[in-house]
């Protein structure tokens, strides 16, 4: 029998405080250390947040409380340092793509978004971030380029984003990070989303944008104009939204994503490639 890894003082604290047992490591990222644990005989997920992860994960908790298990995992318990979550033990949607079921994965994503956006509970009075705030990095980058006399992709995308944000449609609480890796199968409840980011409020079309550049682990599939347009059509039809707005949000989103990394992180080749693919369909 393999030896159990040593239990850290922080993990032990939550095992004792929340009456949990049998911790098994699942993942470790820059934002959290993730374990499956037993709670009243049921296997659930314990996320211990890192200093980097506390802000994003805490706003994510606001969204999960709002969704209350409709299209998403249940948030069972949380504090400022940890979350206890329903465990979706199955595969994520990348497995479908790898089996050749790319379109089916996109249909499932649309269904999840429809469930999340159909939640009728009162919108939280605190903890929500307007979608315009999420685009601050893109607007800063565009202003710098304009000042330097450069009509960059960031300048062009910022104009598109400004127009979209000035005339929002179907405003909802958003997941903020829907993609194939963040939807996992539960044997009891089917496909469920997890890991919302930013607790955003804004036009629901935005929530579909990220999925069009995913799964980014298979770039030879994703960096394809025909696939991009086809899947945008699938999402728009299933969600009842305007495909031209979805493509515009996608253009603004990938340029926003690139703006986060252009000066301080890995070169955003994937995002800029996707921006180049969609730009002719947005700036006409």
Residues with active-site annotation: 177
- CA pseudo-torsion sign 275, 243, 128, 143: positive
Tens digit of pLDDT for each residue in 208-253? Answer: 999 999 998 899 999 999 999 999 999 999 999 999 999 999 999 9
| Residue 112: pLDDT over 70 | yes
A 10 A CB-CB count for 92 gives 19
Per-residue pLDDT, 261 = 87
Which residues have a Cβ under 8 Å from the Cβ of 250 and sit 6 or more positions away?
Answer: 209, 212, 213, 228, 232, 274, 278
- The reply to whether the predicted model has a pTM over 0.85 is yes
pLDDT tens, position by position, 16-33: 999 999 999 999 988 899
- Domains annotated on the chain, with CATH: 9-86 (3.30.200.20), 94-282 (3.90.1200.10)
141-182 pLDDT per residue, tens: 999 999 999 999 999 999 999 999 999 999 999 999 999 999
């Amino acid at each position: 029998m393999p030896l159990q890894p040593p239990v850290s003082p922080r993990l032990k604290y939550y095992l004792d405080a929340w009456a949990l047992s049998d911790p098994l490591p699942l993942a470790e990222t820059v934002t959290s250390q993730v374990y499956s644990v037993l709670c009243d005989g049921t296997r659930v997920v314990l996320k211990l947040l890192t200093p980097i992860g506390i802000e994003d994960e805490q706003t994510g908790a606001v969204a999960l409380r709002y969704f209350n298990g409709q299209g998403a995992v249940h948030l069972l318990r949380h504090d400022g340092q940890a979350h206890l979550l329903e465990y979706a033990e199955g595969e994520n949607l990348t497995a479908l793509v790898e089996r050749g079921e790319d379109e089916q994965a996109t249909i499932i994503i649309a269904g999840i978004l429809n469930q999340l956006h159909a939640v009728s509970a009162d919108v939280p009075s605190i903890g929500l971030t307007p979608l315009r705030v999420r685009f601050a990095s893109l607007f800063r980058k565009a202003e710098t380029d304009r000042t330097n006399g450069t009509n960059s992709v960031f300048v062009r995308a910022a104009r598109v984003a400004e127009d979209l944000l000035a005339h929002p449609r179907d405003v909802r609480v958003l997941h903020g990070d829907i993609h194939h890796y963040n939807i996992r199968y539960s044997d009891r409840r089917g496909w469920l989303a997890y890991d919302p980011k930013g607790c955003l409020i804004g036009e629901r079309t935005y929530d579909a944008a990220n999925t069009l550049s995913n799964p980014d682990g298979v770039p030879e599939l994703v960096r394809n104009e025909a696939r991009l347009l086809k899947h945008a059509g699938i999402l728009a039809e299933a969600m009842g939204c305007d495909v031209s707005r979805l493509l515009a949000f996608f253009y603004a989103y990938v340029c926003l994503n690139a703006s986060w990394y252009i000066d301080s992180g890995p070169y955003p080749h994937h995002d800029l490639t996707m921006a180049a693919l969609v730009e002719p369909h947005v700036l006409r």
